[in-house]
Amino acid sequence: MTEGEGQFYSVQVGDSTFTVLRRYQQLRAIGSGAQGIVCSALDIVLEIPVAVKKLSRPFQNQTHAKRAYRELVLLKCVNHKNIIRLLNVFTPQKSLEEFQDLYLVMELMDASLCQVIHMDLDHERMSYLLYQILCGIRHLHSAGIIHRVRCSLLQGYYR
């Protein structure tokens, strides 16, 4: 999705420079992982908080390319209330030769699953959370998609 020239600005977020559409303001780092860095931002067009994920050099090798493509296709295709929604995708580069970064804009959640797992939740809240997760996973499985949760706390349960 392109919005025209001059629609981008750069901002330093931690150790990374985000070059994003002007509609995304007030970027703040909220997490990072194997695939990229995630910031919260305010979408001043839709007037909602969003998450902006920067994938740096997503096509540097075959493994990164497959992961980036898989994430993009799945987020674009899956539509369910218990699965995060993709709102926008863009790159600030103007040509394939310059292409370095891909940005995914998604709904902003209050916390990541790993953060929630570390919370001291009562039985009722834990049951509700588990039900929501299972509804999302059921939808994915009905579409032939298998989701793998990576969280150090969960990994400890399966050893």
Q: What is the pLDDT of residues 73-107, one digit of tens each?
A: 888 888 889 888 999 999 999 888 888 899 999 99
Residue 133 lies in a domain: no
E-strand stretches of 82-152: 86-90, 101-107
Q: How many CB atoms lie within 10 A of CB 40?
A: 17
Residue 117 lies in a domain: no
Instruction: Write out the residue range of the structural domain in which residue 31 sits.
Output: 8-111
Residue 144 lies in a domain: no
Residue 159 lies in a domain: no
Residue 86 lies in a domain: yes
The structure tokens 């039985």 sit at 123
Residue 65 lies in a domain: yes
Give this prediction's pTM. Answer: 0.81
Please report, for the domain that includes residue 15, its CATH number. Answer: 3.30.200.20
Number of domains within the chain = 1
Residue 119 lies in a domain: no
Residue 120 lies in a domain: no
Cα–Cα distance, 33 to 87 (Å, whole number): 20
Q: What is the pLDDT of residues 19-66, one digit of tens each?
A: 999 999 999 999 887 677 999 999 999 999 999 999 988 888 899 889
Cβ pair 68, 55 in contact under 8 A:
yes
How many residues are given for the chain?
Answer: 159
